[in-house]
Amino acid sequence: MRLPDAVHTSSPWRIHAIAPDFAVEDVWALATPGGTDELPRLVEAMFDGRFPDDAPLVVRALWSARERIGAALGWDRPDDGLGARVPSLRERLPADLRPRPGGPDPAPFTPLYATDDEWVAEIANRTVHAVLHLGWVPDGDGGHTGRMAVLVRPNGRLGAAYLAAIAPFRHLLVYPAMLRGIERRWRAGDAAPQRPSSPSMLFVFRSTR
């Protein structure tokens, strides 16, 4: 379920101080009820490598089109990525957040930091510098559940136009299909990686590191 931006901005996340120049693009609630220490399991479910293969045909077609367009226009070249077009947000981290998070390889994302209730990664290409934020929050019923936010810093007019153009596809097709798959595997207790990870999070934010 999509949530108002204020649900993210009003929470005491440390990402606020690290990326104050990034705008909230999306916030989603995840139906992943669990205990207080199950954020690592959610990260594994996110990057288990099944998306978009397990998505409906229309989503797979959109994903394939994005890959072809990105390749043709050079959106995903390494010289437009982290450490090239934009510096990594790791340069902004305080000392206690600098140890690199463990867990699955979330390529093409680069892990940024992890705490007991936050897991954060970043990605950059010619259109945008983006942050994926996974939060582990109380569910009001004695347990915890996941919440996903996407923060963006568009690259000029191209990036802003691009984000606006793809928003309907993300909101209506891509994210719902992706999150249904994650929630289905969570309920089945099947969150372990099955094969090499795929860039399942941000649809058009696909890039190389």
Task: Tell me the pLDDT tens digit for each residue of 36-87.
Answer: 999 999 998 888 766 566 666 776 777 677 777 667 666 667 777 788 889 9
Please determine, for residue 126, whether its predicted confidence score (pLDDT) is greater than 90. Answer: no
On whether the CB atoms of residues 201 and 110 are closer than 8 A, the answer is no
Q: How far is the CA of 22 from the CAs of 17, 61, 130, 155, 178, in angstroms?
A: 10, 30, 8, 11, 24
> Please, where are the H alpha helices in 4-155?
5-9, 15-18, 39-46, 57-73
Please determine, for residue 191, whether its predicted confidence score (pLDDT) is greater than 50. Answer: no
Compare 72 and 144 and report the one with higher pLDDT.
Answer: 144
Q: Is residue 32 part of a domain?
A: yes
> What pLDDT is stored for residue 202 in this prediction?
45
Q: Is residue 12 part of a domain?
A: yes
Q: Is residue 190 part of a domain?
A: yes
Handedness of CA 64, 65, 66, 71 (dihedral sign): positive
> What pLDDT is stored for residue 175 in this prediction?
85
> What pLDDT is stored for residue 198 in this prediction?
43
Q: Is residue 136 part of a domain?
A: yes
Compare 154 and 65 and report the one with higher pLDDT.
Answer: 154
Please determine, for residue 3, whether its predicted confidence score (pLDDT) is greater than 70. Answer: yes
Q: Is residue 207 part of a domain?
A: no
Please determine, for residue 203, whether its predicted confidence score (pLDDT) is greater than 70. Answer: no
Provide the residue range defining the domain that includes 178. Answer: 5-197
> What pLDDT is stored for residue 45 in this prediction?
85
Please determine, for residue 31, whether its predicted confidence score (pLDDT) is greater than 80. Answer: yes
> What mean pLDDT value characterizes the chain?
84
Split into its structural domains, the chain has a count of 1
